[in-house]
C-alpha cells in the first residue's frame, strides 16, 4: 500500500503534524527536522493523498470547464488555453460537455461533480432570460462568451454585437450587398447567436440595406456540417448571396465548402468571413478572414477570476471583462491573399454589447 503521513512520521521520528507542515511549506521548522522528514518521504516514496486533503479542507484544486463539445475547434483550443492557464495557478481542469442541450447545461450546474470542483468556467448555449436564478449557485462561477445575465457572477465576454457588425462592415466595404449570415438561432434573444445577428443587422441598416430573412441561415450547433447545410438551404432557396458571415469559423468553413461544391468561387463570387480565429482557418483554401476574439486572453482572464474567488479574496462585486477583438483578413474576402495567412487588422477597443436585454423582473 501507499505510504501515509503516519508512516513518514514514524520513520522520521516526528508527529504527523510536522510532516504535514513540511509538506505544506510551513516556514517555522527546524532545518534538521525538515531534512529528516524529507529523507523519510524520499525513502518511502510518499505522496500526499489529495482526496484526504480535499475532504479536510473542502477544496479540491480542480476547476470545471463546461463547453458544448470538444470537437468544436474553438472549444478545443479554448480548453487547451484554459488548461495551460490553470496549470500556472496549480489548478487542474475537469471538462464537461453539455452539447448545447439545455437540460445537460442545467445538470452541469448542479450535478454531483460540482463537489469535485472548487468552481466552474461555464459556457452555456441553451440558457436564456429567466434562467438567471440558475446561476445563483453556491460556488464560484465564471460565465463565458455571453452577456446575457444580470446574475451575481463574473463574466468574461466579447463584444459580440460590435464585432459582428465590424465583420459585416468588412463585407460591405468590399462592395457586397447581398450578405448572408449563417448560424441563426430563431427565437433566441440573448446568446452569441442573437447578439451576432443583431450586429449583422445593425451594420446592414447602417449601410441603408434592409435585413432580408431569406439571407439568414439557421444552424443549431455551430459545426462545419450545419454551416454547409444552412448554406445549401440558402442557395437552394435562391438567396443568391454575394457574401456570407459565418457566426463562427466552423460554420464559415462549412459554408465555404458548400459554395465550392456548387462551383461558386470564394471570394470572387461569394466572400466569406468567420468568427473565432481558429488555427484551421489559417490553412484553408482560401484562407479564412475572421474575427479574432482573443481566445487566450479570455481563457487566462476566466481562470484568474475563478482563482481569485476560490482562493482567499473571495467576495467582491461581480466582474465583467470584455475582451478586445480584431479582424484578420485572409483569402476568403481578399483574392490577393488567397493562400496567405490572415493578416491581423487593428485591435478594437472592446465596446460592451448594448443590446436591450429583456429583464425578467
Partner DNA sequence: TTGTATGCGTTATCAA
Partner DNA sequence: TTGATAACGCATACAA
Interface ranges with its own copies (CB under 8 A):
2, 47-52, 54-55, 60, 62, 69-71, 73, 76-77, 79-80, 83-84, 92-97, 112-113, 115-116, 138, 223-225, 228, 253-254, 256-257, 260-261, 279-280, 282-285, 339-340
- Residue 183 and residue 222 in contact, taking contact as beta carbons nearer than 8 Å: yes
**CB contact at 8 A, 197 and 181:** yes
Contact of 244 with 179, CB cutoff 8 Å: yes
**Nearest-10 crossing angle of helices 16-23, 31-44:** 90
Among the candidate windows 24-32, 142-150, 214-222, 295-303, which touches DNA by CB under 7 A?
Answer: 24-32
**CB 300, min distance to its own copies, A:** 15
295 contact partners, CB below 8 Å, separation of at least 6: 74, 77, 78, 81, 276, 277
Q: Which is nearer to its own copies, 66 or 204 (CB)?
A: 66
The binder of 196, among DNA, its own copies, none, by C-beta within 5 to 8 A per type, is: none
Please give the backbone phi and psi of residue 216, each rounded to the nearest 5 degrees, phi first. Answer: -105, 110
Tell me how far apart the alpha carbons of residues 258 and 172 are, in angstroms, rounded to a whole number: 22
Which residues does residue 329 pair with via DSSP β-bridges, in sequence order? 343
Site for DNA in 218-237 (CB under 7 A): none
Considering only 55, 116, 173, 240, the residue that binds DNA (CB under 7 A) is 55
- Site membership for DNA, residue 30 (CB under 7 A): yes
CB 206 within 8 A of CB 166: no
C-beta of 91 vs 327, nearer to its own copies? 91
**C-beta separation of 317 from 124 below 8 A:** no
* Stretch of 9-17, 178-186, 253-261, 315-323 contacting DNA, by CB under 7 A: 9-17
Q: How far is CA 77 from the centre of its chain?
A: 9
18 lies in the site for DNA, by CB under 7 A? yes
Residue 325 DSSP one-character state: E
Q: 22 or 270: whose CB is closer to DNA? A: 22
Q: Is 14 in the site for DNA (CB under 7 A)?
A: yes
Between 55 and 240, CB nearer to DNA: 55
Which of its own copies, DNA, none does 93 bind, CB closer than 5 to 8 A by kind?
its own copies
Q: Residue 145: which region, alpha, beta or left (left: phi > 0; alpha: psi -120 to 50)?
A: left
Of 47-55, 204-212, 218-226, 343-351, the window that binds DNA (rule: CB under 7 A) is 47-55
Least distance between its own copies and beta carbon 52 (Å): 5
Q: What does the chain come to in residues?
A: 361
- Cβ-proximal residues to 189 (8 Å cutoff; 6+ apart), any chain: 128, 129, 357, 358
Binding site for DNA (CB under 7 A): 1-2, 4-6, 13-18, 20-21, 23-24, 28-30, 32-34, 46-49, 52-53, 55-57
Amino acid at each position: 500500500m501507499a505510504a501515509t503521513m503516519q508512516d513518514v512520521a514514524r520513520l522520521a521520528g516526528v508527529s504527523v503534524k510536522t510532516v504535514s507542515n513540511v509538506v505544506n511549506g510551513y516556514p517555522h521548522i527546524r532545518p534538521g527536522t525538515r531534512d529528516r522528514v524529507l529523507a523519510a518521504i524520499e525513502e518511502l516514496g510518499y505522496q500526499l493523498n489529495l482526496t484526504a486533503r480535499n475532504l479536510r479542507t473542502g477544496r479540491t484544486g480542480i476547476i470545471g470547464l463546461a463547453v458544448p463539445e470538444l470537437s468544436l475547434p474553438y472549444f478545443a483550443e479554448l480548453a487547451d488555453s484554459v488548461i495551460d492557464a490553470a496549470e500556472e495557478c496549480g489548478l487542474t481542469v475537469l471538462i464537461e460537455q453539455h452539447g448545447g442541450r439545455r437540460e445537460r447545461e442545467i445538470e452541469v450546474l448542479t450535478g454531483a461533480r460540482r463537489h469535485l470542483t472548487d468552481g466552474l468556467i461555464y459556457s452555456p448555449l441553451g440558457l436564456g432570460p429567466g434562467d438567471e436564478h440558475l446561476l445563483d449557485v453556491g460556488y464560484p462561477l465564471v460565465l463565458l462568451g455571453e452577456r446575457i445575465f444580470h446574475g451575481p457572477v463574473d463574466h468574461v465576454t466579447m463584444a459580440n454585437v460590435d464585432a459582428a457588425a465590424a465583420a459585416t462592415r468588412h463585407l460591405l466595404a468590399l462592395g457586397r450587398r447581398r450578405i448572408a449570415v449563417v448560424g441563426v438561432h430563431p427565437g433566441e434573444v440573448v446568446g452569441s447567436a442573437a447578439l451576432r445577428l443583431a450586429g449583422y443587422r445593425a451594420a446592414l441598416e447602417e449601410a441603408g440595406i434592409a435585413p432580408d430573412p431569406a439571407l439568414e441561415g439557421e444552424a443549431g450547433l455551430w459545426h462545419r456540417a450545419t454551416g454547409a447545410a444552412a448554406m445549401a438551404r440558402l442557395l437552394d432557396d435562391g438567396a443568391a448571396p454575394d457574401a456570407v458571415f459565418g457566426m463562427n469559423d466552423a460554420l464559415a468553413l462549412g459554408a465555404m465548402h458548400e459554395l465550392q461544391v456548387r462551383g461558386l468561387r470564394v471570394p470572387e463570387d461569394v466572400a466569406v468571413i468567420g468568427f473565432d480565429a481558429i488555427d484551421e482557418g489559417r490553412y484553408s483554401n482560401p484562407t479564412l478572414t475572421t474575427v479574432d476574439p482573443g481566445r487566450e486572453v479570455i481563457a487566462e482572464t476566466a481562470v484568474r477570476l475563478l482563482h481569485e474567488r476560490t482562493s482567499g479574496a473571495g467576495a467582491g462585486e461581480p466582474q465583467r471583462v470584455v475582451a478586445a477583438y480584431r479582424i484578420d483578413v485572409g483569402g476568403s474576402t481578399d483574392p490577393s491573399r488567397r493562400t496567405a495567412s490572415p493578416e491581423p487588422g487593428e485591435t478594437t477597443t472592446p465596446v460592451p454589447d448594448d443590446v436591450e436585454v429583456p429583464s425578467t423582473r
